[in-house]
Amino acid sequence: MADRRAPATDRRPSKRHGKQRTWPAFWVFVGPFLIGLVLFTFVPIVWSAVLSFFDAHNTVTPSTFVGLSNYVDMLTNSDFLQSLSTFTVFAAFIVPTTVAVALALALLVHRLRFAKAFFRSVFFLPAACSYVVAALIWKLSIFNGVRFGLANTVLGLFGVDQVPWLSSASPPWYWVALVTLRLWLQVGFYMILFLAGLQRIPTELYEAAYVDGARPGWQVFRYITFPQLRATTVAVLLLNLIAAYQAFDEFYNLMASARGYPPFARPPLVYLYFTALGSGQDFGHGSAGAVILALLIGIVTVLQAKLFGFGRKED
Amino acid sequence: MDDSPRAVGYGRTVRGRIGAVARYTALGVAAVLFLLPFYLIVRNGLASEADITAPNWTFFPTSLHWSNVTELFHDPSVPMARAMGNSAVVSVVQTVGQVALSSMAGYGLARIPFRYANVVFGAIVATLMIPAAVTFVPTFVVVSSLGWVSTLRGLIIPGLFSGFTAFLFRQYFLSFPKELEEAARVDGLGHWGAYWRIVVPNSLGFFAAIGVITFLGAWNAFLWPLVIGQDESSWTVQVALSSFLTGQTVNLHELFVAAAVAILPLLLVFVFLQRYLVQGVAESGIKG
């Protein structure tokens, strides 16, 4: 902050003494980036906000103004509301499990004396896979609903009948595939964040706890480690939630087939994709949906900032 | 590594040893589970079609078929070579371009006095509030009206301008030692010369960390390439794999070889550049 303010104070003298002007240099550095940001972020947002008030089927330069009716349609559309509840279910599964597993792995790995780098690498390695590749393995090998699927083979050893993992809405076994896939792929990423957080805890705190007779294990974790990880935990929770909100890749690749996408298990972005870019090319409703989703995530972000006081330490 | 009293004090006791055994056992089991999907790619990629679809699934395939690899690249219905080329071009150009553009912007914001710098910075921070994925419909509207659908331009250019990356670079340059640049000034270098000859060469670690994480994201990107790559000639690896996963049927063994080929570049990154990758995750995760 101080760095940015300093130049502002010597702006005036520099003008008076006819020193070098710095704004041309500023634009040489910032200009190219800013032009791109305006063209590919600000223009789309404004254009989309405009489209959301028009009837824009198959066109991006519509002429029929429809007011708020796209918004009313979206907010009363059961499919759109269904997509929000699909996200809620998904988040309720994936966020707590990811935080718990990432934290558990980080705690275990952090205190290793040897093979620490090996285990860290192994748990982080799935992040090299795209969601598409992971979906390929999950769909065609592990959670294949027929006998040659790995999960059904293992269940068969225990005498359990074959489970149609992805093709049936009731019971919704597809959640098992969706949640385990994302957990596998991203948990190492969050483990790295927790490991970085653990590294920042001063050793003196543990020494003090030891001197004070804190029992190692639960007590130390409860009163030293976990409170010290509070900032990291909040950051991981929020990153996780925002990522789950934007889930698309694994849903699309696991659920869609040559027969199309099933009517269930459609999170918000999948719904938006089919509305705006599917056969309908309905940019009016698609834009209204995008605006609503952006507002929802904005509200969540602001709420968390209020609740946790920005939750993160500046470092 | 860990010299906390807990580890020091209890490491040599019986209880400590049991704890260590339990810890390594738990991690060992977890490691096997985490590596299993990678094994499945290799297993199915080298197995015969019959081995993949046999009702009696076995851990090891009955025979290995290395010819599956050449078969994949000779199958005209699977445009894998083209898709790998597209992915390589898109990821490399996007990484280099994004790092160059946003590092310069970050430097300008951190170091060059300008009356409205705060306004510019505020506008960039505002874009961080909007998740990138939600803007895919609006961005598609703009890119399609430029006529960039199914082109490499359409795949690459919208991804060059990341407010988040510019923000990370600005924070980094704020903590860059000013003395080095002042020395460069004394030697007669302007902002441009100081940036390229002093600041960048002394920041290569940070550039590498951001570059590696950008490359990872670009290579694995799916939604935008799916939206833009409507023509087979502009498919990236992820879109090509997805089209076989969700639509037309293809030989399973070929598909698993394709998956192995698709993750190979990133496995190399993980093996050789992991230090930068871990740093990049910590930088972008905590501050994000």
Phi-psi region of A313 (alpha: psi -120 to 50; beta: other; left: phi over 0): beta
A30 CB neighbour count, 10 Å cutoff: 25
- pLDDT exceeds cutoff 90 at B256: yes
Q: Are B209 and B279 in contact (CB under 8 A)?
A: yes
Q: Are A25 and B192 in contact (CB under 8 A)?
A: yes
Q: Are strands A64-65 and A54-55 parallel, antiparallel or unpaired?
A: antiparallel
Q: Is B186 an 8 Å CB contact of chain A?
A: no
pLDDT band at B12 (very low <50, low <70, confident <90, very high): low
Q: Which of B5, B136, B281 is facing A210, going by the closest CB pair?
A: B5
Percent of residues, chain B, with pLDDT higher than 70:
94
Q: Is A124 an 8 Å CB contact of chain B?
A: yes
Nearest-CA distance A260 → chain B (Å):
8
264-293 of A, contacting B, C-beta below 8 A? 269, 272-273, 276-277, 283, 286-287, 289-290, 293
Q: Is A305 an 8 Å CB contact of chain B?
A: no
Contact A192 B9 (CB under 8 A): no
pLDDT, averaged across chain A: 86
Please determine, for the modelled complex, whether the ipTM score is greater than 0.85.
yes
- The CATH code belonging to domain B79-287 is 1.10.3720.10
The mean per-residue pLDDT over the stretch A154-181 comes to: 86
pLDDT band at B26 (very low <50, low <70, confident <90, very high): very high
What is the reported pLDDT for B228?
94
Q: Are A234 and A304 in contact (CB under 8 A)?
A: yes
Taking CA–CA distances from B212, the nearest residue in chain A reads A128
Q: At residue B264, what is the residue type?
A: L
- Give the model confidence (pLDDT) of B156-177 as tens digits: 999 999 999 999 999 999 999 9
Q: Which residues of B touch A3 (CB under 8 A)?
A: 110-111, 174
Instruction: Give the H/E segment covering residue B207.
Output: helix B204-220
Contact A136 B117 (CB under 8 A): no
Contact A39 B142 (CB under 8 A): yes
Closest Cα to residue B235, out of B101, B112, B102, B81? B81
What is the reported pLDDT for B160?
95
Strand partners, A257: A260
Query: What are the residue ranges spanned by the domains of chain B?
Result: 5-65, 79-287
Q: Which of B10, B27, B117 is facing A119, going by the closest CB pair?
A: B27
Per-residue burial over A93-126, b = 16 or more CB atoms within 10 Å of its CB, e = otherwise: bbbebbbebbbebbbbbbbbeeebeebbebbbbb
CA dist A41 and A46 (Å) reads: 9
Contact A26 B130 (CB under 8 A): no
Domains, chain A, ordered by start: 77-308 (1.10.3720.10)
For chains A and B, what is the number of CB pairs under 8 angstroms?
A: 324
Among B38, B57, B134, B241, the residue to mutate for chain A (most A Cβ within 10 A): B134
What lies within 8 Å, CB to CB, of B216 at 6+ separation is A127, A128, B266, B269, B277
pLDDT band at A86 (very low <50, low <70, confident <90, very high): very high
Peptide bond into A171 cis (omega under 30): yes
- Give the model confidence (pLDDT) of A116-160 as tens digits: 999 999 999 999 999 999 999 999 888 887 777 888 888 888 888
- pLDDT exceeds cutoff 60 at A23: yes
- pLDDT exceeds cutoff 60 at A44: yes
Taking CA–CA distances from A256, the nearest residue in chain B reads B246
